Amino acid sequence: MSRRRGLLGLLVSWLWVLGAMPAGAAPYTGLDLSFFTARIPATSDAAPRTVQMRLGLPFPQWGLALEGRFGAGLGGDTVVRNDGARWTLFLPYHYGVYAIGELPVADQARLRSMVGYTRALIEEDVAGVISERVEAGLSFGLGGEWIIDRRGSFMVEYARLLDNERIGLYALQLGWKFPF
């Protein structure tokens, strides 16, 4: 059920982005590899990984873009908690909708900032007891984009995707952006 809601959220966010498309704007898609740091109280930091797809719509006249993103887990991470128990964290999926600010700094380079909303399914295994929960919240980050040619650009971003009393999710994302 949770995975269906995640996919439905992705679809709704992409339709929302496409529905806002102004005449002449060239939407883009992208593929990222995300390296997470997950901070949970009373444990060492875990480092799960995901692959993420993005769909965006630029508004170059205002230096903005809207993006919908969906990520799927590639691998979890196991650490030892402060009480000695083994703890494994896996991110089956995460998705979000973001406003992106873009500031050109050279002909082929832009600084990017992002703010939006992220929702993630978190799967934990603590000493053989498996549980799942959904966390959601405000996200923000900074990054850069280097335009290689008209067929694409390399992107790097560091984002705080979630941070509350139960978990902090921070991601370094490396990817490629393809204009349509």
- Amino acid residing at 76: G
pLDDT average, residue stretch 75-94: 87
Q: Are 58 and 80 in contact (CB under 8 A)?
A: no
The pLDDT value recorded for residue 175 is: 96
pLDDT average, residue stretch 83-87: 82
Range of 126's domain?
A: 2-179
pLDDT average, residue stretch 89-108: 94
Q: What's the CATH number where 77 sits?
A: 2.40.160.20
Tally of domains in the chain: 1
Q: Are 150 and 137 in contact (CB under 8 A)?
A: no
Report the range of poorest mean pLDDT among 4-18, 40-54, 60-74, 94-108: 4-18
- The pLDDT tens digits of the residues spanning 130-163 come to 999 999 999 999 999 999 988 899 999 999 999 8
Q: Are 98 and 86 in contact (CB under 8 A)?
A: no
Long-range pairs for 116-119: beta carbons < 8 A, 24 or more residues apart: 116/67, 116/140, 118/94, 118/161, 118/162, 118/169, 119/6, 119/9, 119/94, 119/95
The pLDDT value recorded for residue 42 is: 67
Percent with pLDDT over 70 in the chain: 86
